[in-house]
């Protein structure tokens, strides 16, 4: 059976030191200390074999901390930040993509549901009136007011039979001018103080 070449566990320098009878002390980077800065390939491998694109995306999202050197990251800070993000996702405080705070979104949903329930309750009690009903009543009021204003010259003729046709025409024109003024007033939004 032919065996596949595996990834070297030791560097050439480690092997030379081992076979040349060098000191028993491991090199400084192997004394249990992690390097402060690592290349993104090493960080991707350390973080459960993430893709390089995922490492870049996490860095853009602020979940990994870049070092000054291109394609390098500050190891401890990046790992802590990444783990903190995973904890929040696992605890249900953040969405997996990190865009939403689940607790905040849940509170907003509950507030909206409460408001909807309050509106339904008020409607069932008869405390609310539909906008359509209000508009229908308003249309009737406006029509009645218009008819009353336009009927003013005829009423005046019935009460004052001595009015001349020219005077009735003036009263009719005045009533129509008043309606146009009311229309103009209604086109401006009401002023609130």
Average pLDDT over residues 102-113: 86
pLDDT at residue 62 greater than cutoff 90: no
pLDDT tier, 1 (very low <50, low <70, confident <90, very high otherwise): very low
Q: Are 6 and 20 within 8 A, CB to CB?
A: no
Model pTM above 0.85: no
Question: What is the pLDDT at residue 113?
Answer: 94
For residue 35, give the nearest of 71, 75, 66, 70 by alpha carbon.
75
Share of the chain above pLDDT 90, in %: 18
In 3D, which of 42, 95, 98 has the Cα closest to residue 73? 42
Q: How far apart are CA 14 and CA 176, in angstroms?
A: 104
Taking each helix axis from N to C terminus, what angle separates 165-187 and 131-159, rounded to the nearest 10 degrees? Answer: 160
Where residue 2 falls among pLDDT bands split at 50, 70, 90? very low
* pLDDT band with cut points at 50, 70 and 90 for residue 110: very high
User: pLDDT grade, residue 5 (50/70/90)?
Assistant: very low
Q: Show Cβ contacts of residue 23 under 8 Å, excluding neighbours closer than 6 positions.
A: 17
- pLDDT tens digits along 17-32: 544 544 445 555 555 5
| Alpha helix positions (H), the chain | 12-19, 40-46, 52-60, 75-90, 102-125, 131-159, 165-187
> Do 28 and 14 touch, CB atoms closer than 8 A?
no
- Bridge partners, 72 (sequence order): 39
Q: Which of 94, 103, 104 is nearest to 63 (CA)?
A: 94
User: What percentage of the chain exceeds 70 in pLDDT?
Assistant: 76
- Sign of the Cα torsion 97, 100, 101, 102 reads negative
Q: What pLDDT shows up at residue 187?
A: 66
Which token pair is 58? 């996490």
């Amino acid at each position: 059976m032919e065996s596949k070449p595996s990834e070297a566990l030791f560097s050439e320098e480690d092997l030379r030191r081992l076979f040349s009878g060098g000191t028993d002390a491991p090199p400084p980077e192997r004394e249990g200390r992690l390097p402060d800065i690592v290349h993104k390939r090493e960080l991707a491998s350390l973080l459960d074999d993430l893709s390089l694109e995922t490492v870049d995306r996490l860095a853009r999202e602020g979940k990994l901390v870049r070092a000054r050197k291109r394609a390098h990251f500050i190891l401890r800070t990046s790992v802590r930040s990444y783990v903190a993000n995973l904890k929040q996702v696992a605890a249900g405080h953040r969405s997996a993509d990190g865009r939403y705070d689940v607790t905040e979104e849940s509170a907003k949903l509950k507030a909206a549901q409460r408001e909807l329930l309050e509106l339904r309750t008020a409607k069932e009690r008869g405390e609310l009136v539909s906008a359509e009903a209000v508009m229908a009543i308003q249309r009737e009021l406006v029509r009645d007011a218009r008819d009353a204003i336009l009927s003013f010259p005829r009423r005046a003729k019935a009460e004052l039979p001595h009015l001349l046709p020219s005077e009735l025409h003036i009263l009719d024109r005045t009533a129509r001018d008043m309606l146009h003024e009311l229309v103009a007033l209604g086109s401006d939004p009401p002023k609130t103080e």
